[in-house]
């Protein structure tokens, strides 16, 4: 990145952080997001560098994953020393040539947050029946959008990712659809808990619509793999990122904090669905009938899905979204 570009993004982040601090806010969303982008870039570089080491490649896959999983944070911390300004006590992170992409992502996140908050506010004052009807309407709309994503993946030759979406839509409908939602709500222990769970489920489907609107803008994005990704890098990234599911949807995960037992059941069922789909997707991507670039491209799409899932949880926490995530 050019020095003047780096100065621009650094000054913007510092000014925002200072304003947030003066206004009593604990954290700057943009600063946190840029830091996350930097750490992701460093992690990718560490994976690529490790794959170039003969001794590393001689290790078992499980040992490689363990080294990267438990050593990346320490390596990132050590590298961050080079970015620390000791005179003014702040970190100065470069995003190299992807600054424009990073800032575009920030803008999209802001749109998503606004959509999520507006969707939650729209639920105020609705009856349980109205909330139920809205949930079902949202699921029909989202299923159609997921199908479009599956069709686009099929046209691009991403057969594994297409199958993922072909099964994801019906799977979610089975959990929260006209039959699934009443079954979940029947486990409520009181009328108040049932009413609260009905609203939580509606809030989740409002979030799904916002997320699908984000995804629709990227439906035709081109996925390519470099040499290292084609020869184990993409698979290593997938194996490293898969634990995000437990972080977000597992016991004590982001999605389960402060929700009713019926809503926790919904989250757990969706988590199990994801686990099944990702396992099947990984197996499909390693199918010998696929070319190496095709298998890698499918794995990268699953990597992107896991990134997005983790990002949704992070956005919910960082922005205090009034939704059950």
How many other CB atoms are found less than 10 A from the CB of residue 4?
A: 7
- How high is the pLDDT of residue 308? 82
- How high is the pLDDT of residue 116? 86
In the block, residue with structure tokens 């954290």: 27
- How high is the pLDDT of residue 168? 95
- How high is the pLDDT of residue 286? 92
Q: What is the pLDDT of residues 73-89, one digit of tens each?
A: 677 767 666 666 565 45
- How high is the pLDDT of residue 177? 96
Residue 4 has pLDDT above 60, yes or no: no
pLDDT, mean over the chain: 79
Mean pLDDT of 208-232: 88
Greater model confidence, 101 or 191? 191
- 95 — phi, psi (to 5°)? -105, 15
Question: Chain centroid to CA 62: how far?
Answer: 24
- 269 — phi, psi (to 5°)? -65, -40
Best mean pLDDT range from 9-18, 58-67, 203-212, 246-255: 203-212
- Percent of all residues in the chain with a pLDDT value above 90, rounded to a whole number: 40
Burial of residue 97, with CB atoms counted within 10 A of its CB: 0-12 exposed, 13-18 middle, 19 or more buried: exposed
Instruction: Compute the distance between CA of residue 46 and CA of residue 248 in angstroms, rounded to an integer.
Output: 24
Report angle CA 12, 13, 18 to the nearest 5 degrees.
100
pLDDT band at 263 (very low <50, low <70, confident <90, very high): very high
- Whether the pTM exceeds 0.75: the reply is no
pLDDT band at 270 (very low <50, low <70, confident <90, very high): very high
What's the token pair of residue 265?
A: 């059941």
Greater model confidence, 79 or 225? 225
| Residue 85: strand pairing partners | 90
Domain regions of the chain by residue span:
3-91, 101-319
CB of 47 closer than 8 Å to CB of 237: yes
- How high is the pLDDT of residue 174? 95
CB of 273 closer than 8 Å to CB of 175: yes
What single-letter DSSP state applies at residue 231? I
Mean pLDDT of 194-208: 94
CA distances from 43 to 10, 35, 67 (A): 21, 12, 12
SS3 23: coil
Cα separation of the two ends of the chain = 35
Residue 304 has pLDDT above 60, yes or no: yes
For 233, residues 6+ apart whose C-beta sits below 8 A from its C-beta are: 47, 48, 51, 225, 226
pLDDT band at 24 (very low <50, low <70, confident <90, very high): very low
Lowest-pLDDT choice from 41-55, 81-95, 124-138: 81-95
Report angle CA 284, 302, 257 to the nearest 5 degrees.
125
Instruction: Compute the distance between CA of residue 279 and CA of residue 243 in angstroms, rounded to an integer.
Output: 12
CA distances from 25 to 28, 317, 318 (A): 8, 14, 11
Burial of residue 6, with CB atoms counted within 10 A of its CB: 0-12 exposed, 13-18 middle, 19 or more buried: middle
Greater model confidence, 173 or 75? 173
């Amino acid at each position: 990145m050019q020095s003047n570009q780096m100065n621009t993004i650094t000054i913007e982040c510092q000014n925002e952080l200072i304003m947030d601090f003066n206004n009593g806010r604990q954290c700057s969303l943009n600063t946190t997001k840029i830091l996350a982008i930097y750490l992701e870039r460093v992690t990718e570089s560490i994976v690529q560098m490790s794959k170039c080491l003969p001794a590393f490649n001689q290790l078992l896959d499980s040992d490689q994953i363990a080294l990267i999983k438990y050593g990346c944070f320490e390596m990132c911390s050590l590298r961050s020393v080079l970015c620390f300004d000791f005179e003014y006590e702040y970190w100065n992170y470069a995003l190299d040539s992807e600054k424009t992409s990073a800032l575009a992502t920030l803008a999209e996140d802001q749109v998503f947050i606004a959509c999520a908050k507006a969707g939650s506010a729209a639920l105020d004052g609705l009856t349980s029946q109205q909330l139920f009807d809205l949930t079902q309407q949202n699921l029909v709309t989202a299923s159609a959008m997921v199908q479009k994503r599956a069709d686009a993946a099929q046209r691009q030759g991403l057969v594994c990712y297409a199958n993922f979406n072909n099964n994801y839509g019906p799977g979610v409908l089975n959990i929260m659809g006209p039959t699934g939602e009443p079954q979940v709500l029947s486990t409520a222990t009181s009328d108040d808990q049932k009413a609260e769970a009905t609203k939580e489920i509606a809030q989740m489907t409002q979030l799904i619509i916002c997320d699908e609107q984000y995804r629709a803008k990227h439906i035709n994005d081109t996925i390519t793999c470099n040499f290292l990704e084609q020869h184990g890098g993409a698979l290593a990234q997938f194996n490293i990122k898969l634990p995000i599911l437990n972080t977000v949807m597992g016991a004590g995960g982001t999605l389960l904090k402060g929700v009713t037992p019926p809503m926790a059941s919904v989250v757990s069922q969706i988590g199990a669905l994801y686990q099944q789909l990702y396992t099947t997707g990984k197996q499909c991507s390693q199918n010998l009938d696929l070319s190496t670039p095709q298998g890698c491209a499918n794995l990268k799409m699953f990597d992107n899905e896991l990134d997005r899932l983790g990002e949704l949880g992070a956005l919910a926490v960082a922005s205090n979204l009034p939704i059950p995530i």
